[in-house]
Structure 1
Amino acid sequence: MNEYQPISVVWELTSECNFKCAHCYNKEIVNSAAIDLEKAMEVCEQLAQLKVKAVLLSGGEVLLSGIWPSVALRLSELGVKAGILSNGWLFDEDTLTQIIASNIDWVGFSIDGLEETHDSIRQKGSFKRIFNSLRELKGKDIYTAINTTVNKRNIGELPALHSLLCEFGVKNWLVQLSVTEGTLEEQRKNFMLDPEQIDSVIDFAHSIYKDSPVNVYLGDCVGHYNAKEIEVRSYRSLPRYGLTTFINGCAAGKSTFGIKANGDITGCIALTKNRFVEGNLYERTLWDIWHDENSFAWNRKMSKDSLVGFCHECQYSSYCLGGCPSLKYNKDFKPVENIYCSYSCAYKKEQERISKLNDSSELIALGREAKQHGNPQIANAYFKRALELEYDPTIEKEIV
């Protein structure tokens, strides 16, 4: 037994998909896989045994799985909330009927910008299909959620997209970053945000989070330790997705996990490399995998000492532990500095400004002020700059 309790699970019922999205993390899948109904019913029982609260059924494209209504209904019977995440292409009247009959708790779609941008990333015509689906779901008062992967193409479209989501009655909006797994590795320079753009995403979420009828949530990869980011996270929590109000390290293998279509268990469904596979449900039960003291060791046993670069020095890294694994490990599973961090970007800008100050007395005074206000890292930057200008052993002792 261990101290960790799974709250939410993302379950790929099939890896088959009718899209080839630019940022897909399932790039390497050649042969599609899917779980059969009999095994899926066993897994539903195992999820209930683990006391999982919510399961998001996905793919691939979940609507290509013929068993999703049966799985959702069984989960509901076992007291586990179930939702589906779809690209919306196959959504029709029969789908709506099945959603109602299977007690689906929420329906999610991925929307990555306004029509032209979204269609260029996903598939031409898919934007209109999703909003047609949202219109039908709104008419039936079914809970809807949207995932948006923010990138260089769509970051400027977030306000206009927000207006559309309000109009169509969307309840939850998860805003997350493109990460470096899958197809995106080839497109990082012209697709993935620059680190300096993270604050723009946070600023946007902060500008709407109190007054919008849509609940906006920042993905765990967006952050960290920016005052506005903390306010947004603290305003509402989203336990159905396993999101918390304050980033305290990646949740993979601690409060959430993923089930791949081939039965592999990973801490997060977006972690596609074999090194992240903890076992397979065709060989072991979910209970055994979850409670194995060696499972998810890369995250459960992660400490600040494992981090490198600025993350190793950061005053907050004992809490965030470097953030999203897709951003703090390279292809060879070697730790790297997570440069997609709001605090890191702000600190480096401040450090550059401090390096241009030449008055030792002013630097010492500012350092002591920063220290008094609970920011020892900035204080140290002031003190170290003062020492560069004029060595003083009393100032050296001020450095934490």
Structure 2
Amino acid sequence: MADLVERWVNNPLSRSLLKFITKRDERGRRIDRIFLNYIGSEVSLSLGDKLGSFILKLFFRGITKRLGIDEERIKEQLRFGYWRRGLASVLEGIALRGVERPFTASAPFLIVWNFTDACNLHCKHCYQRADKPKPDELSTEDALRAVDIMADAGVAYIAFSGGEALVRPDFFKVAEVVREYEMGYSLATNGTLLTRENVKRLEESGCDFVQISLDGLRETHNRFRGIDCYDRVIEGIKNAVESRMAVGIATCVTRYNIHEVDALIDLAEKLGADQFIHYNFIPTGRGREIIEMDITPDEREDLLNRLASQIGSRRLILLSTAPQYARVCLGYGYVSLTHFDTVGQQLGKGEEVGFLAEFIGGCGAGRLYMALQPNGDLTPCVFIPIKIGNILADDFTDLWWNSEVLNKLRDRKSFKGYCGRCPWREVCGGCRARAYAYFGDVQEADPGCPLNMDRWRMIEEKIPSPRLEAEVKVGGDGFD
């Protein structure tokens, strides 16, 4: 059935109709007005809009019938602005490129915005080397211009990160403008500043989700974070849980804390969190200094299986930034589309689930998401420090479609090692950030996967044992 839908959507007539309903004019994207009409909102429609609205209804009825999806459920989701924006980018992407496996949206669904390099902690693994604000960080005025640009391009969701975004005094002013555009927004935070007052302000400004870092139980977390802050983080988690926002607890797993993962999931559940997210360790930024603490491919595979095996039996959603998690979850009859997916694990089994996993496609860098740095530079991922342009100096949409680096990330057939010929290539794709951090090449094999053990053995020859104190220089140019 999924193949039938794919052929139907990919035929020239369907593509032409999609181009018509996603056409841009002086009023913006036609599809945005059509969606508002579809959910029953009052909106002025041109004759072309009305025709497009009729086409969209036929399109949705055909898709939902063939895939067994309740059309009313789609309407309910489309009442959220970021859902409308995201689906508009999907349809526009299909109109431009057809149904690809994996898929590239017409604009990033998600922008992770490192809002500042300032931070009140000094974490061992920080990809940003956050400490003090840099002198070239965007002013409030320029940050608001950046929001305008992302909104106009069709970005659906902004995930504020850092550094610690709450350190910056104008955070809420910028966040409120994001919501005025009906983009969704979330906050990744170390949790120490989640006072009741700040949590209330986050709610009032429209924050959907708060992700709080917790990298171990008390002693481990404090050692990892460089300061005694465990109690403040737990208090911040409790404050967030009492709000209407969804709450996720994020743990970057290394040899420091892999033995505490199960206890952390128990703690997250006890505290009332909605999600537990395993973060892949990427040896970039300050993380280069603890490269010897990376876990082995077999340890990672075991961890991902432990997470997937508990789906459905835990009250919270179990996620991972490791793209291999999509492959592992399919083995348990579930689909985990991305590390920010809260829907996939609720879907049933079947051919359609497998198609959806290939369509979303694991690592989303350069296809579904991109990163924005404190100074306005754009990078493929927060963990890949390759500048592809600047949001204020360059054309955002032109960069998205024509960046050489982003197109390399999309070309999975050119990936090296087993990643390029893996039967799970469309579902997973390997972590491009780990490939770049270890080999200086975004198309290299991901050494974190057991199917690339030859690459991991190369690394083991270069890095010291975790029992030894030694420095290793790793990064953009590979090993020295």
The one-letter code sitting in structure 2 at the alignment partner of 1:26 is Q
Distance in 2, matches of 1:72 and 1:92, equals: 18
Q: Does 1:325 align with 2:432?
A: yes
Could you tell me which residue of structure 2 aligns to residue 394 of structure 1?
A: none
Could you tell me which residue of structure 2 aligns to residue 193 of structure 1?
A: 295
The answer to which of 19-28 and 8-17 deviates more is 19-28
Distance in 2, matches of 1:204 and 1:231, equals: 14
In 2 relative to 1, CA 229–68 (structure 1 residues): closer, same or farther, beyond 3 Å?
farther
TM-score, structure 2 normalization = 0.64
Partner SS for 1:233 = coil
The answer to which of 32-41 and 151-160 deviates more is 32-41
Distance in 1, matches of 2:419 and 2:204, equals: 48
Distance in 2, matches of 1:305 and 1:291, equals: 18
Could you tell me which residue of structure 2 aligns to residue 253 of structure 1?
A: 366
Query: Shift of the alpha carbon at 1:345?
Result: 5.8
Could you tell me which residue of structure 2 aligns to residue 290 of structure 1?
A: 400
Contact 1:328/1:335 (<8 A) preserved: yes
Query: Shift of the alpha carbon at 1:334?
Result: 7.4
Residue-by-residue CA offset, 1:258-281 (whole Å, 9 max, x unaligned): 100011101111112xxx211001
The one-letter code sitting in structure 2 at the alignment partner of 1:206 is A
Contact 1:176/1:219 (<8 A) preserved: yes
Larger Cα-atom Rg: 1
Let me know the Cα RMSD of the aligned residues. 3.1
Could you tell me which residue of structure 1 aligns to residue 316 of structure 2?
A: 214
In 2 relative to 1, CA 124–232 (structure 1 residues): closer, same or farther, beyond 3 Å?
farther
Could you tell me which residue of structure 2 aligns to residue 311 of structure 1?
A: 419
Gaps of 5+ in 1: 349-400
Contact 1:223/1:340 (<8 A) preserved: no
Query: Shift of the alpha carbon at 1:39?
Result: 1.6
Partner SS for 1:40 = helix
Query: Shift of the alpha carbon at 1:176?
Result: 2.0
Query: Shift of the alpha carbon at 1:115?
Result: 1.3
In 2 relative to 1, CA 28–172 (structure 1 residues): closer, same or farther, beyond 3 Å?
closer
- Aligned pair count reads 340
In 2 relative to 1, CA 34–230 (structure 1 residues): closer, same or farther, beyond 3 Å?
farther
Could you tell me which residue of structure 1 aligns to residue 120 of structure 2?
A: 18
Residue-by-residue CA offset, 1:153-194 (whole Å, 9 max, x unaligned): 2111111111111121111222122112122223222x1101
The one-letter code sitting in structure 1 at the alignment partner of 2:396 is L
The one-letter code sitting in structure 2 at the alignment partner of 1:97 is K
In 2 relative to 1, CA 315–292 (structure 1 residues): closer, same or farther, beyond 3 Å?
closer
Partner SS for 1:164 = helix
The answer to which of 129-138 and 260-269 deviates more is 129-138
TM-score, structure 1 normalization = 0.76
Which structure exhibits the higher relative contact order, with contacts defined as CA atoms closer than 8 Å and separated by 6 or more residues?
1
Could you tell me which residue of structure 2 aligns to residue 268 of structure 1?
A: 381
Contact 1:248/1:319 (<8 A) preserved: yes
Distance in 2, matches of 1:129 and 1:241, equals: 31
Distance in 2, matches of 1:205 and 1:7, equals: 26
The one-letter code sitting in structure 2 at the alignment partner of 1:307 is K
Q: Percent identity?
A: 22
Contact 1:76/1:103 (<8 A) preserved: yes
Could you tell me which residue of structure 2 aligns to residue 62 of structure 1?
A: 165
Query: Shift of the alpha carbon at 1:130?
Result: 1.4
The answer to which of 110-119 and 278-287 deviates more is 278-287
Gaps of 5+ in 2: 1-92, 98-103, 346-355, 457-480
Q: Pick from 446, 449, 452: which aligns with 1:341?
A: 449
Could you tell me which residue of structure 1 aligns to residue 468 of structure 2?
A: none
